[in-house]
Structure 1
Amino acid sequence: MKIIFLSFLSSLLLILSFPKFNLSFLAWIGFLPLFIACEGSNRKQSFFLFYISGFIFWAGILYWLIQVSFIGFLLLVFYLALYFGVLGFFVSIVQSIVCSQQFTENSPLFLINCFLFLPSLWVVLEFIRSHLFTGFGWALLGYSQYLNLPIIQIADITGAYGVSFLVMLVNTTFYSVIRKKKKNLFSILSILCILTALIYGHYQLTRQQANPPTGKLSVSVIQGNIPQEQKWDKRLKKNILDKYIFLTQRAANQNLPNLIIWPETAVPAYFNQDEDVKNRILNLSQEINASLLIGAATFKNNKPYTSLVRGKSFNSAILISRGKIVSQYDKLHLVPFGEYVSSLFSFTRHFIDIGDFSFGKEWTVFTLPALRSSFPAFSVLICFEDVFPYLSRGFVRRGANFLINISNDAWFGNSSAPYQHCQPTVFRAVENRMNIIKCSNTGISCFISPKGKIFGKFSKYGRDIFVDGYSTEEILVRERPLTFYTSFGDVFAVLCLLFCAGFVIIERNKIR
């Protein structure tokens, strides 16, 4: 009974470290009860304890998915808990090595390697989870620290995985201290790692930018607050469009922004198929004297004498200026079983409401040629594309000076989902040292600085989700050198993978 309680306690501590609770300090000890619970357990028992804890954790984090599909929720939670189970399997191995008679106090380097293995392994597991089966990089352990600005500054070198490593490192350090009942070299190493991260974070947060701003941009985000069940109701099409136009006109008249942003699929029709809707929006862009970025579903037929498939629909972002369409971005990374499903699993359409979008092909960087000297280039991440670092890195490497995330989290009701969705966006800003503007249908709509600070969050009546309105802020645009992470990507995660592989190989050879 004690070990079950400790497993549940770990789940609870980790859940509380994420939104809406945001008790981020609990993540630093979240795995400690699990480590204690597994003492004396064999590998199968340890796997089971961690799996149960992982199942409870993911159920508590992703409970809002039930509003979309209960079956999908269960399948995803069962799958994600496996990563906890794999960690538990190796925790049992490390504990058995450390407690074996062959282990002595005369092997400090070996002790360090043993306990460094666990945080490295956790990084590898998060990396695999973020890429396997198109990837699910939600609620990484490091994301729990998204409001802890000094700690997360290392993300411009290591990505979010570096912060996950630190959090797990502290967990294993506490366990090491409890297990050994005295200080050891591993504790000293852990303290040095945390101090290094904090010193680097303080430096990044306080240093003055060497390059002066190349431009100042005023941006308004429109939060329409359209319930999901109303978005595609043809009877409400005019009312929805009227609302967005009204909010846009108010923002334009009161704040005189350079750019106004609508959220994902804000247009209540296929933009290039409904001429009345299209003309109203084009006329609006002429009236407001500002560029307009809209989220809309679009439809494309095949061109004559080409092999393009007829009738593809896309989840798109469209830039409009002075009554004309400037350019369009079609979403590159679609949500499986949400926006598309492969033919192999087409039968799931009988159980789940699944969209029929196609993958975009172009890495679009938006520019306004006529205003190029004063209007910086930018790119758009649609919906959960901000969860995938390779996309933001790719756009920045292609010349984007700031990023915009448009999303629609109305699917998930009044839950923690919009707050959890803010976490990866903060890390994408720090990783690339780039301003990111977040515009969501039902919230959260906000601005994020290159240092990860959230500002200009829209709120009304003391609430920041399921309220309508707009927020306007100015962002400073600078010419910045590419960060290490933008240039080289997940080098840190690869190093962790190599370390784990080397550790396993060496230990297997010892057994032989």
Structure 2
Amino acid sequence: MASFSDPNILPDDPYAERPSFRRRYAAWFWSAGVFIATVVLTVLSFPPYPTPEFAYAFAAPAIFWAYLKPSFRRYALTLFAAQAVAWTLLLGWLHHVTWAGLLLLGPLVGAWVGVWYLAVWWTMPRLPAHAPLTRVAAIAGLAALWVVIEWSRTWLLGGFSWLPLAASQWQRNINLQVAAYTGAYGVSFILIAFNLGITAYCHRLLKEKQFGLRKRSPEFMLALLVLIFPSFILLTEVYNQQRRELGRFSLVQPYVPQTLKWDATEGPGIVKSLEELTLNAALDRPDVILWPEAVTPWAVRGEATMRSFVESLSARANVPMLLGSIAVESAGAVDETWYNGVFLVTSREGLQPDYYAKRKLVPFGEFVPLRPVLGWLDKFVEVGGDFETGEDSHPLLVPLRRGLTVVGPLICFEDIFPQLARASTLAGAEVLTVHTNNGWFGEGGAAYQHAAHSALRAVETRRPVVRVGNGGWSGWFDEYGNVREVMTDAGGSIYFRGAKMMTVTRDERWAGRESVYVRYGDWFVLACLGLASLGFFLVRRDPPPPVVEKPESPAAAV
């Protein structure tokens, strides 16, 4: 019988060989399979799910498909759609504040990440016939490109670097240690390199039919090498710690519902709750009491009654307080200015004149960008006008058990920006505090996702990070990203009203020292920019040697 590919057979020949259903719709099967696998593996890689191991393979289905030379249109549509869905699911907690923001931001971040997959589509089919060195350079270049794209998220369009790939490993601290040298970008590089390396090895076995010594994959060897590298850092730096007590921090978690927060009639009740929690916390005789972001119903600087209350409360508790509130400068004047800040109140001297003002504001939360154009849009934080941006890291001198200690405050989502924690450390901070209010976003994954970034900042700066939230996650990380303590209720939930004292320690070996990342900043991003360019240049410059093509089957045209 003549083959189906015989041009002499008419299309309606009843005796012609017909392709199977699977082969006829292979392209659709691949598209659907890659879409589902990419969405599921991407979402499960990140908090609040306890499956960070999926981050080692979340991109493998799409990478393997790229080897099979699918059409650009089908590949791009599949991956952009998968990323849009995955990131909309990951950011699903935004619906508590704005459905429109969720449905815009999810696809936007997905498209940002999706650009990387276009580079995968272009690169992977070209690699099998290339020399090993070129293949390794290409794999390293693709991993480096991922880093450059992640870095661009910290500043492009105002910056939204929520959930870099490294954040998936926040509870696997052995993988995080490279961040002290490269920033969290190095962790992302390792994960992507492993995704690429393991997929290249699978393709070599399944599609190239290489066995014995010929099945060796230099791409996979590179992936294993970069995967093992953090273990050496763990052995040399994490062991033999010299821990000493830094101070005793009481974290007050008032769990004020955001529906009540800006209701003036609820203000006295909120103040009463803060008073009770703080006085109870003082019974444990902490060195300092921490309140979360903007927790007072009125501005502590600019409202005399609110200032008098916190000063009296600190004196009654006989404990200094580091609290989140609002500063109103030039109140009532034409040039009245609002700041979201962290303030120090001591039991003897009261409210200190110096305070930390938030450097990175939330668009449409604390200000309306391009107000002359977008002024018709409302902020979801129901306070007067726009907040102003703080000028510098402005660390605060806080009296702890061992004397005055330099504390570097961060507010809200500022801990997702590595450059801010780095600047605070360069300014002398020996411990970082994060004052946040995740109460806007319900009891879903937002608090866990947010906390993951503090683990990264702790490793990058080699400084303990103490977090206090309105409703959770409250606790602290040591310099190596370990969760030392976290506030939970009797049922294990982080979402509750209460207070807890935590003894924060530090490794004395890092006292007064700076990590490589703190000292040199984003040097690894520059290296990755060069590495990505080199990989592209080598693949583009050296065309692979010609190979004998087998007749194409319908299954190959995916």
When normalised by structure 1's length, the TM-score is 0.92
Deviations 1:33-73 (A, max 9, x none): 11233332133332222211111210110011112111111
Q: Given residue 524 of structure 2, which amino acid in structure 1 is its aligned partner?
A: F
Report the Cα distance in structure 2 between the residues aligned to 1:27 and 1:324, rounded to whole angstroms: 49
Q: Which residue of 1 aligns with 2:32?
A: 4
Query: How far has the Cα of 1:219 moved from its partner?
Result: 0.7
Q: Which residue of 2 aligns with 1:198?
A: 231
Q: Which residue of 1 aligns with 2:4?
A: none
Q: 1:491 aligns with which of 500, 523, 537?
A: 523
Q: Which residue of 2 aligns with 1:150?
A: 174
Q: Which residue of 2 aligns with 1:318?
A: 343
Say whether residues 1:15 and 2:43 are aligned partners.
yes
Q: Which residue of 2 aligns with 1:242?
A: 272
Q: Given residue 315 of structure 2, which amino acid in structure 1 is its aligned partner?
A: Q
The answer as to whether partners of 1:444 and 1:458 remain within 8 angstroms in 2 is yes
Say whether residues 1:380 and 2:387 are aligned partners.
no
Pair 1:372–1:25, CA change in 2 (3 A) = closer
Report the Cα distance in structure 2 between the residues aligned to 1:413 and 1:345, rounded to whole angstroms: 32
The answer as to whether partners of 1:155 and 1:162 remain within 8 angstroms in 2 is yes
Pair 1:373–1:177, CA change in 2 (3 A) = closer
Q: 2:445 aligns with which of 416, 422, 445?
A: 416
Q: Of the two, which has the highest radius of gyration?
A: 2
Residue 367 of structure 1: SS of its match in structure 2?
A: strand
Pair 1:490–1:244, CA change in 2 (3 A) = same
Say whether residues 1:350 and 2:382 are aligned partners.
no
Query: How far has the Cα of 1:361 moved from its partner?
Result: 1.8
Q: Which residue of 2 aligns with 1:139?
A: 163
Query: How far has the Cα of 1:337 moved from its partner?
Result: 1.9
Query: How far has the Cα of 1:77 moved from its partner?
Result: 1.6
Q: Which residue of 2 aligns with 1:219?
A: 249
Q: 1:300 aligns with which of 316, 329, 354?
A: 329
Pair 1:194–1:509, CA change in 2 (3 A) = closer
Report the Cα distance in structure 2 between the residues aligned to 1:151 and 1:363, rounded to whole angstroms: 29
> What is the count of residue pairs matched by the alignment?
497
Query: How far has the Cα of 1:159 moved from its partner?
Result: 1.0
Q: Given residue 150 of structure 1, which amino acid in structure 2 is its aligned partner?
A: I
Q: Given residue 45 of structure 2, which amino acid in structure 1 is its aligned partner?
A: S
Task: Name the % identity.
Answer: 26
The answer as to whether partners of 1:64 and 1:413 remain within 8 angstroms in 2 is yes
Query: How far has the Cα of 1:302 moved from its partner?
Result: 7.9
Q: Answer with 133-142 or 188-197: which moved more.
A: 188-197
Q: Given residue 144 of structure 2, which amino acid in structure 1 is its aligned partner?
A: S
Query: How far has the Cα of 1:352 moved from its partner?
Result: 5.1
Counterparts of 1:179-198 in structure 2, within 5 Å, are: 179-181=203-205, 182-198=215-231
| Structure with greater contact order relative to length (CA < 8 Å, sep ≥ 6) | 2
Report the Cα distance in structure 2 between the residues aligned to 1:266 and 1:208, rounded to whole angstroms: 36
Pair 1:158–1:292, CA change in 2 (3 A) = same
Pair 1:270–1:208, CA change in 2 (3 A) = closer
Q: Which residue of 1 aligns with 2:313?
A: 284
Q: Which residue of 2 aligns with 1:57?
A: 86
Residue 468 of structure 2: SS of its match in structure 1?
A: strand
Deviations 1:172-231 (A, max 9, x none): 11110111112222222221221221222233321334xx74x63111010000011111
Report the Cα distance in structure 2 between the residues aligned to 1:486 and 1:183, rounded to whole angstroms: 39
The answer as to whether partners of 1:46 and 1:92 remain within 8 angstroms in 2 is yes
Report the Cα distance in structure 2 between the residues aligned to 1:156 and 1:509, rounded to whole angstroms: 35
Query: How far has the Cα of 1:359 moved from its partner?
Result: 0.7
Report the Cα distance in structure 1 between the residues aligned to 2:99 and 2:258, rounded to whole angstroms: 17
Say whether residues 1:30 and 2:58 are aligned partners.
yes
Counterparts of 1:72-471 in structure 2, within 5 Å, are: 72-99=101-128, 103-104=129-130, 107-181=131-205, 182-209=215-242, 213=244, 216-253=246-283, 255-301=284-330, 310-322=335-347, 323-326=349-352, 327-344=354-371, 346-347=373-374, 349-350=376-377, 353=380, 356-368=386-398, 374-471=403-500
Query: How far has the Cα of 1:241 moved from its partner?
Result: 0.8
The answer as to whether partners of 2:249 and 2:287 remain within 8 angstroms in 1 is yes
Deviations 1:313-359 (A, max 9, x none): 11111101025112211111111121112235653643653562111
The answer as to whether partners of 1:14 and 1:27 remain within 8 angstroms in 2 is yes
Report the Cα distance in structure 1 between the residues aligned to 2:378 and 2:538, rounded to whole angstroms: 48
Report the Cα distance in structure 2 between the residues aligned to 1:149 and 1:480, rounded to whole angstroms: 23
Q: Given residue 321 of structure 1, which amino acid in structure 2 is its aligned partner?
A: T
Report the Cα distance in structure 2 between the residues aligned to 1:297 and 1:315, rounded to whole angstroms: 5
Query: How far has the Cα of 1:375 moved from its partner?
Result: 2.6
The answer as to whether partners of 2:302 and 2:331 remain within 8 angstroms in 1 is no
Deviations 1:212-264 (A, max 9, x none): 74x631110100000111111111111101111111111111x1001000000
Query: How far has the Cα of 1:507 moved from its partner?
Result: 4.2
Report the Cα distance in structure 1 between the residues aligned to 2:371 and 2:303, rounded to whole angstroms: 33
Report the Cα distance in structure 2 between the residues aligned to 1:222 and 1:153, rounded to whole angstroms: 30
The answer as to whether partners of 1:444 and 1:464 remain within 8 angstroms in 2 is no
Report the Cα distance in structure 2 between the residues aligned to 1:412 and 1:349, rounded to whole angstroms: 24
Cα RMSD of the aligned pairs, angstroms, is: 2.1
Q: Which residue of 2 aligns with 1:503?
A: 535
The answer as to whether partners of 1:432 and 1:450 remain within 8 angstroms in 2 is yes
Report the Cα distance in structure 1 between the residues aligned to 2:535 and 2:218, rounded to whole angstroms: 19
Q: Given residue 436 of structure 2, which amino acid in structure 1 is its aligned partner?
A: S
The answer as to whether partners of 1:438 and 1:444 remain within 8 angstroms in 2 is yes
Q: Which residue of 2 aligns with 1:482?
A: 514
Q: Which runs of 4+ in 1 moved over 6 A?
A: 370-373
Residue 376 of structure 1: SS of its match in structure 2?
A: strand
Q: Given residue 172 of structure 2, which amino acid in structure 1 is its aligned partner?
A: N
Q: Answer with 487-496 or 222-231: which moved more.
A: 487-496
Pair 1:468–1:143, CA change in 2 (3 A) = same
Report the Cα distance in structure 2 between the residues aligned to 1:352 and 1:377, rounded to whole angstroms: 34
Query: How far has the Cα of 1:303 moved from its partner?
Result: 12
Q: Given residue 267 of structure 1, which amino acid in structure 2 is its aligned partner?
A: T
The answer as to whether partners of 2:367 and 2:379 remain within 8 angstroms in 1 is no
